[in-house]
Amino acid sequence: MRSFFSTLLLLNWGLLLILILLAAGVIAVEDYLSNSLKPLLFFSYILIAIFGTFYVSFTIARKVTDPLSLIENKTKDINAGDFGVELPSPEILELAQLTSSINEMAKRLKNQFLDLTVEKEKFNSLLQNLKEGVFAIDFNNKFLFLNRNIPESIISQNSQFKDIRSAVKNRELLQFIETKVAKKAEGKTEFQEGSHFYNARLYPIKSNDIVYLYIGVILDITEDRQNQLVREQFFQNASHELKTPITSIKGYAETLHYRLKLEDGSNEKKFLDAILRNTERLVRIVEDMLTISRLENHKTILQTESFQLYELVKNVRDSVGVILSNKNQNLIIEIEKTMRVQADLVLMEHVLVNLISNASAYSPENSNIVVFAKEVNEKYLLEVRDNGIGISPEDSERIFERFFRVDTNRSRKEGGTGLGLSIVKHIARLHAGEVYVRPNPEGGSIFSFEFPKK
């Protein structure tokens, strides 16, 4: 096996040697030929030189072009996914090295292709057997993949490589997907199809801020929704059923307290006071339960009006004055007196009473509670700041659940119902807003109630 340069040099030198020998032969026989045959001899020598040069050039070209043609065809086959058989080794060293590299590359690509095929089958099998429905959308709004757990009533079967507009049957889901794809953002939504409820999430897959595809997940939450409805109905029925006997107990206890006129310090007086105190707490719990039931069942209709927020907070301060005075706490209002908001006055009073009462319960004596408000872009922001025990990140995610308490002992001592913040969350939703909590840099917590301007 020789290099291309040595092969070219060897053939050229061979041709040159043959031509020299022929020339010597021509010169040797020239003197013995007649003058009429000398031109024929010279012409024959020229033909032999031309043919020899052509033959050498053709041989060199074939030694290069034939292997290159095989290499070209091999690369086309590899590009098409056909790795075939190995290329034969050419006689030229450089081409032999190139052929060997291509053969090694083909082997490596074949192994990688087989590995990827196995992994793809595993991944497809995993996706197909997931409980959730999973789909993928490319940047042309066409489906790349759908598993079999997506109901046909939501997305048509065999919709791979189809446009989402022609494949997605549920209008709510289609509008959600188009909105998030247009914004190149992730999101979640809930929608109903027939008697079933579904939760849908969409995630953009990015690289260097370029979105290549979107992964969607659809989960059937019908069972969870039904369980939630059962709990809400039980919650509502229990609150209604408890109201009458508790009111009756409270009435009898107050009658006994008024008629018996028991002496201070007597056991009977202590027992009766305990009955009245706990009955009062039960009344507050039932009232809060009824309030949440009305909010959850959309029986509360927003009656928005324009009012001065400072005046409302001032009135609420008078209402919760007893709670604050028991712990010698001071309520500071940091709101412009001319600031007006468009909201439901009664529900906003609920929000303030619950947030301020909550701040008072978890704050030490002789502390300050600040109520702050301002307009941010097209929203109103209302904050209640305290210097209490604070809320951990884990508890901040659950603080707005029913009956959840950060400090159970303190809540019982303060007589809280555990429903106040849940009521605030529902009122925020009614106002198309949100409520959240974050740590106060000065210690304690900041509860923020944010809702859009009407």
The whole-chain average pLDDT of the chain stands at: 81
Res 351 pLDDT > 80: yes
State the pLDDT confidence band at 331, using cuts at 50, 70 and 90: very high
Least confident of 250-264, 411-425, 433-447: 411-425
- Out of 4-13, 229-238, 368-377, 396-405, pick the least confident: 4-13
State the average pLDDT over residues 383-405.
80
3-state SS class at 342: strand
Please say whether the dihedral angle defined by the alpha carbons of residues 263, 267, 268 and 269, taken in this order, is positive or negative. positive
Q: Which residues lie below 8 Å from residue 176, measured CB to CB, with a gap of 6+?
A: 187, 189, 191, 200, 202
Q: Please state the domain extents for the chain.
A: 4-115, 131-220, 224-296, 304-452
pLDDT surpasses 60 at 2: no
Position with higher pLDDT, 382 vs 244: 382
Is the pLDDT at 216 greater than 70? The verdict is yes
Query: Between 283 and 436, whose confidence is greater?
Result: 436
Distance from C-alpha of 84 to C-alpha of 315, rounded to nearest angstrom = 87
> CA separation (Å) from 279 to 108, 251, 285?
80, 10, 10
Whether 45 has a pLDDT exceeding 80, the answer reads: no
- What's the CATH fold of domain 304-452? Heat Shock Protein 90 (3.30.565)
Residue 139 is predicted with a pLDDT of 81
pLDDT at 335 over 90: yes
Q: Give the pLDDT of residue 386.
A: 92
- Which of 18-27, 45-54, 186-195, 238-247 ranks highest by mean pLDDT? 186-195
Specify the pLDDT at position 406. 63
Handedness of CA 65, 70, 74, 77 (dihedral sign): positive
Domain boundaries 131-220, corresponding CATH code: 3.30.450.20
CB burial class (10 A; 0-12, 13-18, 19+) of residue 421?
A: buried
If you average pLDDT over residues 140-157, what whole number do you get?
Answer: 87
| Residue where the block lists tokens 């809702």 | 451
pTM exceeding 0.85: no
Residue 263 has pLDDT above 60, yes or no: yes
pLDDT at 412 over 70: no
pLDDT band, very low/low/confident/very high, at 448 (cuts 50, 70, 90): very high
What mean pLDDT do residues 36-46 have? Answer: 73
CA distance 72 to 80: 13
Per-residue confidence band for 96, with pLDDT thresholds at 50, 70 and 90: confident
For the cut 70, the answer to whether the pLDDT of residue 425 exceeds it is yes
pLDDT for the residue 50: 78
Mean pLDDT of 254-265: 82
The predicted structure's pLDDT at residue 348: 92
Between CA 230 and CA 385 the distance in angstroms is 36
Using pLDDT thresholds of 50, 70 and 90, give the confidence band for residue 76. confident
- Whether residue 323 is predicted with pLDDT greater than 70 in this model: the reply is yes
Q: Is the pLDDT of residue 413 over 60?
A: no
